[in-house]
């Protein structure tokens, strides 16, 4: 695959933070409703994925990877504090590792999600499986 070398070259690269995202009550309620999660003021634990997805899509664009070839391998969140309504959050993604197994690239990423004061709210890591296929 022509992309392999360029993806591997991105290991250690830290991407610029995403544009600030305002955590609004409407967006949180919509996110909770999508999984039938009762919303009573506290933000669902997986909500930071909204930020992580934004950061991931920027990385995929730079790496020239099609989103439809990506399958999520694993996901971890560690929270310094709960996300709150009114937070302005950004996510900065770093490519931690790339391994090739059976024609697939296994891409390890880590994203730091920080508030408007630059304080980390959540550290999240994801493994992305890039299914190389017959491209």
Partner 1 sequence: MTALTAGTELPTRHYRITRADLVRYAGASGDFNPIHWSDRVATSVGLPGVIAHGMYTLALAARAVAEWTEGAEVLELAAKFTNPVPVPDDDTGVEVAVAGTVGESAEGRTRIELTVTCGGTKVLGRPTAVVRG
**Is residue 84 part of the contact set for partner 1 (CB under 8 A)?**
no
Query: Is residue 47 within 8 Å of residue 34, measured between CB atoms?
Result: no
Q: Answer for the pair 83, 123: CB distance below 8 angstroms, yes or no.
A: no
Rounded least distance, CB 95 to partner 1, Å: 19
Toward partner 1, which CB reaches closer, 76 or 88? Answer: 76
Cα separation, 53 vs 84, in Å, equals 19
Binding of partner 1 by 108 (CB under 8 A): no
Q: Does 71 contact partner 1 by CB under 8 A?
A: yes
Per CB under 8 A, 61 contacts partner 1: no
Of 6-14, 93-101, 113-121, 126-134, the segment contacting partner 1 by CB under 8 A is 126-134
Binding flag, residue 3, partner 1 (CB under 8 A): no
50 binds partner 1 (CB under 8 A): yes
CB of 111 to partner 1, least distance (A): 14
Measured CA distances, 3 to 38, 43, 50, 62, 131 (Å): 42, 38, 26, 11, 12
Do residues 102 and 44 make contact, with C-beta atoms less than 8 angstroms apart?
no
Q: How many CA atoms lie within 13 A of 84 on its CB side?
A: 7
Residue span 7-36 as binding mask against partner 1, x where in contact by CB under 8 A, dash where not: --------------------x--xx-xxxx
């Amino acid at each position: 695959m022509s992309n392999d070398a360029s993806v591997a070259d991105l290991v250690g690269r830290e991407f610029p933070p995403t544009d600030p995202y305002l955590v609004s009550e409407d967006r949180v309620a919509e996110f909770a409703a999508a999984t039938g999660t009762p919303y009573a003021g506290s933000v669902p634990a997986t909500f930071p994925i909204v930020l992580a997805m934004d950061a991931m899509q920027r990385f995929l664009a730079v790496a020239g990877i099609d989103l439809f070839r990506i399958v999520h391998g694993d996901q971890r969140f560690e929270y310094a504090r709960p996300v709150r309504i009114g937070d302005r959050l950004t996510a900065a993604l770093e490519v931690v590792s790339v391994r090739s197994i059976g024609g697939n690239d296994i891409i390890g990423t880590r994203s730091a999600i920080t508030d408007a004061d630059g304080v980390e709210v959540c550290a999240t890591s994801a493994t992305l499986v890039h299914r190389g296929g017959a491209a």
